[in-house]
Structure 1
């Protein structure tokens, strides 16, 4: 079980503005530019009740929904907001979908991370490094890291 070396902190200042640039691209109709690798999550703020937006990387996709990971851990604002109000909207490409968040178990997260590492080895190593996990490239190392990364399944409710 890999211990977290450090907990990443969300960007601030100009880095925050740069990190939020994809939100503006989605709003401008440029969502297809990301080729399905990113989605825009529109969720409800738990304290304000106002709509909030964040762009997330898609870890896995099927016809019923998307799976995303919280790179900033369980303290990420979007993750905490979904715990409070699981109903949200996803913009994938130019299309909008009503979704409900389901939080995955550590075992499911481990399996997902192994599969993601097989499909995107460089991105998986970068995500693990960002989260503070040392991985040697083996499936067992990715599984152990995935068991500590919060994954959320955004299940489409508008089929």
Structure 2
């Protein structure tokens, strides 16, 4: 699927079992090497909770694989990322807005105010290759 989806390999926070979760890529940042994904079920998403409890093992996207570090985008940066995703995927709008409305529990209309409200509920995570000097656990930017 090229750069449209990534496969996140992570560990269960309670079981320690290895899991693989496929996430849609909502943005690529070539300069920083970051790949953006949204926690579509919110902060209670298992993969999201798992990466906060233990470092993820791998991100695979296209032919690229790396051991990831991550950060959670702040509200303004996350809203800009969603706006960019919507601009790049205009043909998905008839499907995207109803799906987001269902996930959010309120009518998502694609306005700037709605984007800001959405990213308060659905975190956006930026994965990048971890530097060898980084500790095993990664913090978050808020």
TM range (shorter): 0.7 to 0.9
- Does residue 40 of structure 1 match 2:12? no
Kept after mapping to 2: 8 A contact 1:43/1:53: yes
TM-score, normalization by structure 2: 0.76
**Unpaired runs of at least 5, structure 2:** 133-142
Q: CA RMSD in A?
A: 2.2
**Unpaired runs of at least 5, structure 1:** 1-33
Q: Deviations over 1:79-105 (max 9, x none)?
A: 000111234311112332111121222
- Once the two structures are superposed, the pairs formed by residues 92-103 of structure 1 within 5 Å of their partners are 92-103=61-72
Kept after mapping to 2: 8 A contact 1:44/1:52: yes
> CA offset at residue 158 of structure 1?
6.3
- Give the 4+ runs in structure 1 shifted more than 6 A: none
TM-score, normalization by structure 1: 0.69
CA distance in 1, matches of 2:77, 2:57: 22
Aligned length: 126
